């Protein structure tokens, strides 16, 4: 059972007042091309607090972390496994701080409604809750991909999100799967030691959109391997 924690705490760990923070946040969501430098400075304590919670995984000490775990799963061990999976992924991709900061910026750019009549503390609560929901989806997506990649690795020996020694991709594989030029390019990046961040930079695609493209490639490969297998292999 999850432990009940007190709710009389500030929604976000910040070193500036709710009024100052919400004012800067409102300016940034009003103009999607605005400079977010000051806002990113303000959220550093908030990001640091989340990083601490995700690393320590102590549900009894933080209300926000506890409710995140509840969102992830009703089963405590499973929710902790999901968090650990995301932490490992973030550290191997860039860093936990970078991923948490990037998520906040993403939520700012996507936020469409500004509660102008609400008090700054309530707006801060809305921002904190939106961020937690975004983090919930972020962790779930990484968890699903981890399970999918583990399945592919076990079945076909393919794990494209780690560094592997593969200097010359097999053109036979490309031909047999009937990939287009774009897919061949993506597959070549995956098979030549480019991690997810580097692939995102090279293709100018958000990592989550890129993940969908890459999943289609692996699904195509899996289908072709299945079609070409002998009856005895099936």
- pLDDT of residue 162 exceeding 60, the answer is no
- Distance of alpha carbon 143 from alpha carbon 166, whole angstroms: 26
Length of the chain: 234
Provide the pLDDT for residue 42. Answer: 96
- Distance of alpha carbon 89 from alpha carbon 95, whole angstroms: 9
Give the model confidence (pLDDT) of 63-122 as tens digits: 888 899 999 998 989 999 999 999 999 988 888 998 999 899 888 888 877 676 788 889
Give the model confidence (pLDDT) of 120-130 as tens digits: 889 999 999 99
- Band (pLDDT 50/70/90 cuts) for residue 178 is low
89-98, 197-206, 212-221, range with greatest mean pLDDT: 89-98
Give the model confidence (pLDDT) of 1-47 as tens digits: 344 434 457 889 999 999 999 999 999 988 878 888 999 999 999 99
First vs last C-alpha separation in the chain: 44
Is pLDDT larger for residue 234 or for residue 34? 34
Give the model confidence (pLDDT) of 49-67 as tens digits: 999 999 988 766 678 888 9
Provide mean pLDDT across the span 152-170.
Answer: 43
- pLDDT of residue 136 exceeding 50, the answer is yes
Domains of the chain, residue spans = 18-151, 160-228
Provide the pLDDT for residue 166. Answer: 34
Provide the pLDDT for residue 146. Answer: 78
Provide the pLDDT for residue 133. Answer: 92
Provide the pLDDT for residue 49. Answer: 93
Q: SS in 3 state form for the chain? A: CCCCCCCCCCCCCCCCCHHHHHHHHHHHHHCCCCCCHHHHHHCHHHHHHHHHHHHHCCCCCCHHHHHHHHHHCCCHHHHHHHHHHHHHHHHHHCCHHHHHHHHHHHHHHHCCCCCCCCCHHHHHHHHHHHHHHHHHHHHHHHHHHHHHHHHHHHHHCCCCCCCCCCCCCCHHHHHHHCCCHHHHHHHHHHCCCCCHHHHHHHHCCCHHHHHHHHHHHHHHHHHHHHHHCCCCCC
Give the model confidence (pLDDT) of 137-160 as tens digits: 999 988 888 776 554 444 444 444
Provide the pLDDT for residue 234. Answer: 47
Is pLDDT larger for residue 2 or for residue 229? 229
- Band (pLDDT 50/70/90 cuts) for residue 225 is low
Asked if residue 159 lies in contact with residue 153, where contact means CB atoms within 8 angstroms, the answer is: yes
- Distance of alpha carbon 152 from alpha carbon 165, whole angstroms: 18
Asked if residue 220 lies in contact with residue 179, where contact means CB atoms within 8 angstroms, the answer is: yes
């Amino acid at each position: 059972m999850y432990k009940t924690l007190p709710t009389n705490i500030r929604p976000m760990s910040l070193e500036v007042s709710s009024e100052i923070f919400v004012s800067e946040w409102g300016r940034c969501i009003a103009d999607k091309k605005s400079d977010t430098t000051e806002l990113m400075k303000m959220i550093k304590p908030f990001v640091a607090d989340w990083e601490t919670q995700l690393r320590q995984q102590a549900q009894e000490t933080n209300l926000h972390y506890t409710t995140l775990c509840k969102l992830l799963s009703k089963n405590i061990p499973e929710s902790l496994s999901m968090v650990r999976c995301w932490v490992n992924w973030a550290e191997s991709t860039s860093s936990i701080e970078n991923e948490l900061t990037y998520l906040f910026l993403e939520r700012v750019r996507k936020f469409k409604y500004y509660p102008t009549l609400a008090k700054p503390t309530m707006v801060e609560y809305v921002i904190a809750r939106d961020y937690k929901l975004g983090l919930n989806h972020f962790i779930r997506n990484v968890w699903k991909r981890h399970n999918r990649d583990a399945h592919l690795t076990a079945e076909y020996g393919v794990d494209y999100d780690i560094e592997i020694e593969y200097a010359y991709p097999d053109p036979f594989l490309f031909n047999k799967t009937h990939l287009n030029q774009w897919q061949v390019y993506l597959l070549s990046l995956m098979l030549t030691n480019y991690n997810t961040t580097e692939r995102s930079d090279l293709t100018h695609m958000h990592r989550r959109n890129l993940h969908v493209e890459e999943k289609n490639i692996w699904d195509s490969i899996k289908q072709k391997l299945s079609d070409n297998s002998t009856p005895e292999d099936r």
